[in-house]
A and B are shown apart, each in its own frame.
Chain A
Amino acid sequence: MAIDVLGAPVKRVEDQRLIQGEGNYLDDIKLASMVHMAILRSPYAHANIKSIDTSAAKSMPGVLAVFTGADIPYNPLPMAWPAGGSAGIQNNINMPRVLATDSVKWTGEGVAAVVAETAEQAFDAREAIHVQWEPLPTVVEVEDAIKDGAPQLHENAPNNTVFVWTVGDKDGTAAAIDSAEVVVKRRIVNQRLIPNSMEGRGDIGWYNPGTDEYTVWMSSQTPHIQRLLLTAFVTGIPEHKVRCISPDIGGAFGSKIFCYADMALVMFASKAIGGKPVKWVETRRENYQSTIHGRDHVTWLEIAGNRDGEISAIRVKTLANLGGRLSTVGPGIPTTLYARVLSGCYKIPNVFAEVTGVYTNTTFVDAYRGAGRPEATYVVERAMDLFAKEIGMDPAAIRRKNFIAPDAFPYENPSGLGTASGGAKIYIDSGNYEPALNRALVMSGYLDADKAKAEAKSRGKLLGFGLSSYIEVCGVAPSKWIGAVGEGWGAAMWESSNIKVHLTGKVIVTMGTQPQGQGHETTFAQVVSHELGVPMEDVIVQHSDTQGTPFGYGSYGSRSGSVGSHAAVKAAAKIREKARRYAAHMLEASPDDIEIDGANYSVRGSPDKVKTIQEIAFALDLGFSLPDGMEPYLDETVYHDTENCTWPFGTHVAVVEIDEETGAVELSKYVAVDDVGKKINPMIVDGQLHGGIAQGVGQALWEGAVYGGDGQLLSGSMLDYAVPRASWFPKLELDETVTPSPVNPLGVKGVGEAGAIASTAAVANAVADALSPLGISHVDMPLTPARVWGAMQAAKGGQA
């Protein structure tokens, strides 16, 4: 009998290769006759291209070809998720071309490419390309970009507006705010971030002239989607002539979901030079300019309620910076994934949001870990604290008072999750928020906050506690909601799994999901081992190759654990059912009389009449003797569309100490109590939370992409962008409540983003709490010593 590994902290099967340096990341791949590509990128944030002279570059040593935009017959990259989906909202869409042709809209937009025998030769020749530029005026801040007289980026986007999208009850919210006892208003900024996966992106394109087929290796979270987008929308190459492969991926955090110009460029280049494989790997500086950024909202928030702390309305107006052109699902992030969850875990009856997408001369913005939900959580959690402060209420008490009650589920929130037409609704299906809050308060020492603050004050420190109670919509998503109702990209979001039990009884599971460090090879093997009763070491999980895995939508939105594992559970059920019918054939019994206990299939009442799944697979896969109508082989595929998203929740508490002299903020304690449902592997779940929390803390305290007014990225390398370091963190303290998700049979919810969604607001609230004795209610992130010190000086009436 195999050991049941479901729910156990099993060591990861991926690690054996990774700890020995035997991983296979994109840049580790070497192919026979492979050559190298370098992309010349715009040094200007806004300019017309007058001419490009590639003649000198073409004669450089080792150079095989030089291309400009005029050489590439492909379409611009596709827009897959306009704001409002198919609901008819005007979206003024401008997508990047594979190489820019007439003008550039941000520093780093690609304008020419060199292919050479070695990477160094390609870099050298790139320097010899001469572009005659006509620089144009630039705008980088959203509030500037929508003003009259601002430099205009695109003819079809007056005032640099991509869209204006609203959600919620405008009049009802206005009435609630107008009649409220207390209204708090505040402008807050959710600054731009650079994802910083430790591995950047890269591609290898190989055109095989013998078959007229392409293979593209890509550091991508979505190889199946990229094959679809690259063929159907960009290149026009038939889909069945292209194979996409994602090798080991060195982190992604959303930045590798998208369709990037370089993917099509390596395909074009390989064919153009006669079929040698062409490798392109971005440098970190390139990554900072040409792989997506995240967040970048300016929001005016209003929160209204009474002096008892009952919140009646929240209204926001948000300007979302989407960059110089759009990334694949850029407009979907600050709309559906942000404003539709603005009320968080609270029963706020009136919600209204107006979101304006804005073009600026900056790198495009798209999904970064959490994608819209951290921005929403930051707004509502700052708002709760600002309101509590205004009426003199305890931040924990105001949260408790406004939580959606445990008996109120399923709960349709007022910002539109449940109001979509067409019969497809998603709703918050389960939750019990107060126990997690209570536990986090106890663990963090919140109940003795006054004593801790006094003790810190005696050391010259201002101590603050910050709460963040969150929900996450993850496990995305029901296709009927995301697609047919027009709430998402023009595609589905089901997931797939194929299970084969081979003649020797070994099991190969292929998945449509695409790991980037989450440990899918371990967790899906745990699930299938549990479902089939076979030892985990007899199960291998494969993924990442459009040849050999069923179509899947890839991994993001904390969906693999919920939607992907559900597909695997259903595929295993089909395997069991076929094995049951074949066991009946082998044992000369009725299928209804076959009992399944792990791997054993026995006749009810005759426990000695038994076949193992391995014996069944051997005979069935050979197919020498088959019952009428049964096909040989134990091989089943499932495409699973989820009924609903999943709804993790929890409360995080951050404790900070601020040096009164310098404004330096130290995160001294961090407590997270999360409810992610049941866990397939608690060790991996904890790791996901650690990493997510660290990224969210990074936003609160240190990180930020900074542009000069001329559109130059000042935080243009790891020298200048504050990637968090080990010594900046305390030990993170985790605990849990467990409310199984009713959406899938394992009761899992997904955990990839939860930490990042909760932690930014917790830390920002802690800093605001620490500064409140000085009369400071809010400081925008990142809460660097300079900013905090400046706010302290201003509050004291000094010179900031």
Chain B
Amino acid sequence: MTVPVSLVVNGVRRELSVEPRRLLVQVLREDLDLTGTHVGCDTSQCGTCTVHMDGKAVKSCTVLAVQADGSEVTTIEGMASSDALHPIQTAFWENHGLQCGFCTPGMIMSAADLLARNNNPSDGEIRHAIEGNFCRCTGYQNIVTSIREAGKVMREGAAAPTSTTPA
């Protein structure tokens, strides 16, 4: 049995027919090929599946696709504009905020949620805000720096200079 689900994902309307037991993350990854959203656990701890649903960060492993019916969903693939990375993406790149990169999409989505609510967070507030996102590589230190620096750029309202080449 399948049921119809209508979503706007990264600005594009998607009409889907899904099994009721399927999770939003499964629909994003498997039906829509948006594999930047990851699955790192089965108990809603790790946060690698974090996306935005109607502007708020959610763990897409803990949302049934049918619950998301009618929602606007933003995934990591929807963060950059056509010609520039999102300032948070740029900040993670410039501050070595990632190593293996598996937690990174979820971490960036949680950071975006935080900075939308509080564009000048303290380091303590940043660390608290990403409690639901595990990283095993970085010790979180450069993630905190990345989010702090992204907040600075976003406050200044200036588009972060973006390069697509190293160095």
Interface residues of A (CB under 8 A from B): 3, 5, 8, 10-23, 25, 27-28, 30, 120, 196-200, 248-253, 283-285, 516-519, 522, 525, 536-537, 683-684, 686-688, 690-695, 717-719, 723, 725-727, 729, 731-732, 755
Contacts and interface: CB of A to CB of B under 8 A. Distances in A.
Interface of B: 19, 21, 29, 33-43, 45-46, 48, 75-77, 79-80, 85, 89, 92-94, 96, 98-105, 108, 123-124, 126-128, 130-131, 133-144, 164-167
25 contacts: A13-B166, A16-B93, A19-B89, A20-B36, A20-B89, A21-B37, A23-B102, A27-B38, A30-B33, A197-B102, A197-B136, A251-B137, A525-B166, A687-B96, A691-B139, A692-B139, A718-B41, A718-B45, A719-B45, A723-B136, A725-B127, A725-B134, A727-B127, A729-B141, A731-B141
A723 B134 contact: yes
A10 B96 CA distance: 10
Given A21-B75, A718-B45, A718-B46, 6 more contacts: A14-B101, A27-B38, A197-B100, A200-B40, A249-B100, A687-B96
A285 B167 CA distance: 40
Contacts of B99: 251, 517-519, 687-688, 691
Contact of B136 (A12, A196, A693): A196
B85 A19 contact: yes
A482 B79 CA distance: 49
A570 B33 CA distance: 42
A516 B43 CA distance: 24
Contacts, number: 193
A693 B138 CA distance: 9
Contacts of A688: 99
A271 B137 CA distance: 37
Given A726-B131, A727-B131, A23 B36 contact: yes
Contacts of B133: 726
Contacts of A519: 99
A15 B167 contact: no
Contacts of A198: 38, 40, 46, 48, 100, 102-103, 134-137
A120 B19 contact: yes
A18 B98 contact: yes
Cβ-closest 5 pairs across A and B: A21-B36, A250-B102, A517-B100, A18-B101, A694-B139
Contacts of A3: 167
A485 to B, nearest CB: 35
A15 B139 contact: no
B105 to A, nearest CB: 5
B38 A25 contact: yes
Contacts of A10: 166-167
A107 B38 CA distance: 27
Contact of B93 (A8, A19, A755): A19
A718 to B, nearest CB: 4
B100 A732 contact: no
A546 B23 CA distance: 36
Contact of A199 (B38, B89, B98): B38
Contacts of B143: 726
Given A12-B96, A517-B99, A19 B141 contact: no
Contacts of B124: 727
B100 A251 contact: yes
A537 B108 CA distance: 26
Contacts of A200: 40
A15 B92 contact: yes
A284 B46 CA distance: 10
A723 B41 CA distance: 12
B40 A199 contact: yes
A15 B141 contact: no
A691 B138 contact: yes
Nearest to A719: B43
Contacts of A686: 96, 142
A726 B77 contact: no
Nearest to A29: B35
A517 B33 CA distance: 23
A250 B166 contact: no
A199 B100 contact: yes
A517 B137 contact: yes
B96 A251 contact: no
Contacts of A5: 167
B40 A15 contact: no
Contacts of A14: 101
Contacts of A692: 139
